[in-house]
Amino acid sequence: MPSMEQNGPRNTTQTRKQKPVLKLSNQPRCAADAISRREIVKKQRESLPIASVKERLVQEVKNHDVLIIVGETGSGKTTQLPQFLFNAGFCSNGKVIGITQPRRVAAITVAKRVAEECGVELGLKVGYSIRFDDKTSSSTRIKYMTDGLLLREALLDPYLSRYSVIIVDEAHERTVHTDVLLGLLKNVQRARLKSVIDHAVVSNKKASNGITKENEKGAECTNFLKQCQRKFPPLKLIIMSASLDARLFSEYFGGARAVHVEGRQHHVDIFYTLHAETDYVDAALITIFQIHLEEGPGDILVFLTGQEEIEGVERLVQEQLQKLPEESRKLVTAPIFSSLPSEQQMRVFMPAPAGHRKVILATNIAETSVTIPGIKYVIDPGFIKARSYDPVKGMESLIIIPTSKAQALQRSGRAGREGPGKCFRLYPESEFEKLEDSTKPEIKRCNLSNVILQLKALGVDDIIGFDFLEKPSRAAIQKSLEELFLLGALTDDCKLSDPVGHQMARLPLDPIYSKALILASQFNCLEEMLIAVSMLSVESIFYNPREKSEEAKTAKKCFASPDGDHLTLINVYRAADELLQKRRMELGIEKNEKNIKGKNEKILRKWCRENFINSRSLRHACDIHSQIRGHVEQMGLPISSCGDDTLQFRRCLAASFFLNAALKQPEGTYRALASGQVVQIHPTSVLHQSKVECVIFDELVQTSQKYIRNTTRIDYLWLTELAPHYYAMQG
């Protein structure tokens, strides 16, 4: 283990500026380039471990309606199997092969890669579909999507009749959507089979002029069944997982067949720190530079917990680089996290410029979901950001927790894909032994109201009796049902209410956000709520670099509303929008739309930089805004603005977020009213250190303290006025 406190770049003092830039485009520059790239891609594909078992796999899929495929990360499961099945005729009759991913970025990057491998334009034969972004067309046959999106599709098409094959990828991740999807797919398979039998019975009757059901077992009927099955092929279900234990999935599907695809793993040296690190971000930074300055060529992959942390480390790396001698600055950064705008995602897959080293700053998305070539060094601080739910208090929070052993092993494995590698775990070896074997499935540690709402909309009324892969606790189900009832989505007898419950199920948002939008149309502030919900749907609009903290604070003050963060976020959105409107008027004469868009992008980025606004997040929020606006318009909700009467908006927040209200305590902390927990207003909130009596908040985050984030001032009395069914009950 290199000693982590020595040779830190902070000791060096040179300050000449020159940023190495990672080329954004992977477009070949000439025909020869394109041919050689095609050749490379072809060779890469042929050398993947899965290539040698292609025929066997296709046969297994033909023979079994449910198949579990376990294979090491990088063996080619996600990119190759759908192509094998396509070529084997699984898309005849215009059917589609659907592949679900737990994460948006994985769906996008893999679809792009597969489109390239097939030599087709993205969105034609190969496409992807994720919430707020659809790149598919009627000719799409291989469709990558998030697991959540397929659940939504089932609302419109309960038989998922467009699909001949559904591949549930990354099943080991056990996201709540994956778990629910598996239950749903089990039902769909059964329902499809039933429709085949029903059809056979009807046809049989017709053909033999009313032969009764007793004859169904005869040979004639079997023939009919076969014919019908050809007409209505069963849904093939493939579950892919990187974890070696396929037992749980197999048992769930009645002893379904499981096959293993061998991977190729080189030796990885594991290093631990001698002592526990107090600041793992700092330790990661030091390790990046130690590797960069002392180790041989090869890219570095660093696992961090989220966008904010990744962008912080990215800035620190850039800063430290400026302090190094010119010849040591050949290091480029490439971030990857779930909400990264799609045009920036492919950067992680691009080779660094000649002579440079690339450092990839990733969330746990790079554990198994995406395989990035060229990695020789892995830095694993040993943490993830995870959801945690307390069903007694009804509180969901985001917490940073240690990874499991399985995750640590997956992470270190990323260093040994192409040759021997090194993994630096930023904790002592004794800590590794204390880690849980595997991560608890999300369904056992999250608020279930979203899932329950969707299941109800799918006609599953008995949630407790639903055939879950692993059942969430009865307490969690009951608490979430209660929450939905309090939000007005469910009737007394636990059915979806009309119209609110049905409207809420249609919106692809957390139930509380959906409720806020529906109510906002009555409070005449839907314009404002659309912006607020979009801005809340992205991580960290503001950023605050350590070295320019004061400047950032001053910039934020220009947008700050004394009433809280929701209005502050709206101010940011509107300021950006005004800037672009103005530009549009100035450039109105210019004909070339693309040109205008490019210039606007540049201007917006500059404006964001000057105002310490995260331009990636802002753009993402704009996309979300236009999508939700579309949904809301379709639903026929009247969209109007409350103008300067922001009281209406705050009252609307109180009416919808009443379960997230907190009251100031004499000693200065706050008490969350629903759960009784003692919390503090997050330091990034404009209401931090204010003397506001009562607030509503968007989320509870737990680090060393319990913080409430994105808060807005409300009047305590509004709660009893606007949510009497809850606050009168509370007494």
Match 């890469």 to its residue by tokens: 44
CB crowding 130-149: b at 16 or more within 10 Å, else e? bbbbbbbeeebbbbbbbbbb
- Single residue of 4, 85, 99, 110 touching ligand CDP by CB under 6 A: 110
Structure tokens at 680: 């503090």
Min dist. Cβ of residue 413 to Mg ion (A)? 13
Helical axes 615-634 vs 565-586, angle rounded to 10°: 90
For residue 348, the 8-state DSSP code is G
Min dist. Cβ of residue 45 to ligand CDP (A)? 8
Q: Is 109 in the site for ligand CDP (CB under 6 A)?
A: yes
Q: What string marks each residue from 52 to 91 as x (binds Mg ion by CB under 5 A) or -?
A: -------------------------xx-------------
For residue 132, the 8-state DSSP code is T
- Single residue of 4, 66, 79, 613 touching ligand CDP by CB under 6 A: 79
**CA–centroid distance for 223 within its chain:** 46
Min dist. Cβ of residue 47 to ligand CDP (A)? 9
Structure tokens at 210: 């009313």
By a kind-dependent CB cut-off of 5 to 8 A, residue 373 interacts, out of ligand CDP, Mg ion, none, with: ligand CDP
Q: Is 113 in the site for ligand CDP (CB under 6 A)?
A: yes
Q: Is 78 in the site for ligand CDP (CB under 6 A)?
A: yes
Residue nearest Mg ion, Cβ-based: 78
Min dist. Cβ of residue 490 to Mg ion (A)? 37
Q: Is 109 in the site for Mg ion (CB under 5 A)?
A: no
CB 686, CB 568: distance < 8 Å: yes
* Residue range at the interface with ligand CDP (CB under 6 A); choices 105-113, 550-558, 645-653, 698-706: 105-113
Min dist. Cβ of residue 262 to ligand CDP (A)? 11
Nearer to ligand CDP among residue 110 and residue 237 (C-beta):
110
Residue 617 host element (H or E): helix 615-634
CB 318, CB 19: distance < 8 Å: yes
Q: Is 686 in the site for ligand CDP (CB under 6 A)?
A: no
Strands 661-664 and 421-425, by their bridges, are: unpaired
- Single residue of 53, 68, 70, 76 touching ligand CDP by CB under 6 A: 76
Residues numbered 555 to 584 that lie near ligand CDP (CB under 6 A) are none
Residues numbered 271 to 300 that lie near ligand CDP (CB under 6 A) are none
What is the Cα–Cα distance from 629 to 636, expressed in whole angstroms? 11
DSSP string computed for 98-109: EEEESSHHHHHH
Residue 656: CB atoms within 10 A of its CB come to 26
Nearer to ligand CDP among residue 175 and residue 712 (C-beta):
175
Min dist. Cβ of residue 720 to Mg ion (A)? 52
Q: What string marks each residue from 5 to 24 as x (binds ligand CDP by CB under 6 A) or -?
A: --------------------
* Residue range at the interface with ligand CDP (CB under 6 A); choices 6-14, 107-115, 483-491, 521-529: 107-115
Nearer to ligand CDP among residue 44 and residue 195 (C-beta):
44
CB 551, CB 611: distance < 8 Å: no
Q: Is 73 in the site for ligand CDP (CB under 6 A)?
A: yes
Min dist. Cβ of residue 336 to ligand CDP (A)? 11
Q: What is the dihedral of CA 85, 369, 539, 526, to 10 degrees?
A: 20
Q: Is 83 in the site for ligand CDP (CB under 6 A)?
A: no
Structure tokens at 613: 């606004």
Residue 290 host element (H or E): helix 280-294
The amino acid at 148:
G
Min dist. Cβ of residue 136 to ligand CDP (A)? 18
Strand partners, 335: 361
Q: Is 75 in the site for ligand CDP (CB under 6 A)?
A: yes
Min dist. Cβ of residue 369 to ligand CDP (A)? 8
What is the Cα–Cα distance from 69 to 237, expressed in whole angstroms? 11
CB 565, CB 686: distance < 8 Å: yes
Nearer to ligand CDP among residue 20 and residue 49 (C-beta):
49
Residues numbered 450 to 489 that lie near Mg ion (CB under 5 A) are none
Structure tokens at 262: 């061998």
Nearer to ligand CDP among residue 171 and residue 379 (C-beta):
171
Query: With CB under 6 A, what is the number of residues at the site for ligand CDP?
Result: 16
Structure tokens at 13: 């003092």
* Residue range at the interface with ligand CDP (CB under 6 A); choices 76-84, 139-147, 540-548, 638-646: 76-84
Strand order in the sheet with 421-425: 268-272, 421-425, 375-380, 299-303, 357-362, 331-336
* Backbone dihedral angles phi then psi of residue 500, each to the nearest 5 degrees: -55, -50
In terms of phi and psi (left: phi > 0; alpha: psi -120 to 50; beta: otherwise), the region of 394 is left
Among the residues of 157-218, which ranges form H helices?
176-207
By a kind-dependent CB cut-off of 5 to 8 A, residue 320 interacts, out of Mg ion, ligand CDP, none, with: none
Nearer to ligand CDP among residue 48 and residue 569 (C-beta):
48
What is the Cα–Cα distance from 541 to 722, expressed in whole angstroms? 30
Q: Is 351 in the site for ligand CDP (CB under 6 A)?
A: no
Binding site for Mg ion (CB under 5 A): 77-78
Interacting residues with ligand CDP (CB under 6 A): 48, 71, 73-80, 109-110, 113, 349, 371, 373
